[in-house]
Amino acid sequence: MWRCSAESSWEWIVGFVKSIGICSAVEVELWGIYECLKYAWELGITRLRMESDCGRAIRTLQNRRIRHSISLVHHIWDFLNIQWEVHLLVINRESNMVMDALANLAWTLPFGFHDFVHPPTFVSRLVMADLPG
């Protein structure tokens, strides 16, 4: 997660991964979106720009007319219904290198949620390339 200061400069707030085992790419992305929304809400963030390189996940969340059997989608919708400003954006994969690197790290960690107050060393060089803007 990044925060934009009043001076329009970006700073790292926290990074995280959740090791969930084997599932589809869309499910992985939905879990990431859910955890990010939950974490942002707990941090008191009231405006959030959510970026994903998985267009299918974003379209699933934006189209509420379709019924979903995935309960996780409904939990995400519950977060999106809270009184805060959330923008869901599809970005290209090349603009999402930090999250891809963290996702690969998840395979090496025990099941569960892991957060990083500071960027892990191996992604530090990717941070500057991934800054929103």
**Does 60 fall in a domain?**
yes
| Between 116 and 30, the higher pLDDT residue | 30
**Does 107 fall in a domain?**
yes
Per-residue confidence (pLDDT) for residue 101, from 0 to 100: 75
**Does 77 fall in a domain?**
yes
pLDDT at 12 exceeding the cut of 80:
no
**Does 2 fall in a domain?**
no
**Does 3 fall in a domain?**
no
Containing structural domain, residue 51: 19-130
Per-residue confidence (pLDDT) for residue 77, from 0 to 100: 92
Number of structural domains in the chain: 1
Per-residue confidence (pLDDT) for residue 34, from 0 to 100: 92
110: buried, middle or exposed (CB in 10 Å: 19+, 13-18, 0-12)?
Answer: exposed
The model's confidence at residue 58, banded by pLDDT at 50, 70 and 90, is very high
CA angle centred on 15, ends 10 and 17, rounded to 5°: 155
| Between 9 and 113, the higher pLDDT residue | 113
Average pLDDT score over residue span 2-11: 55
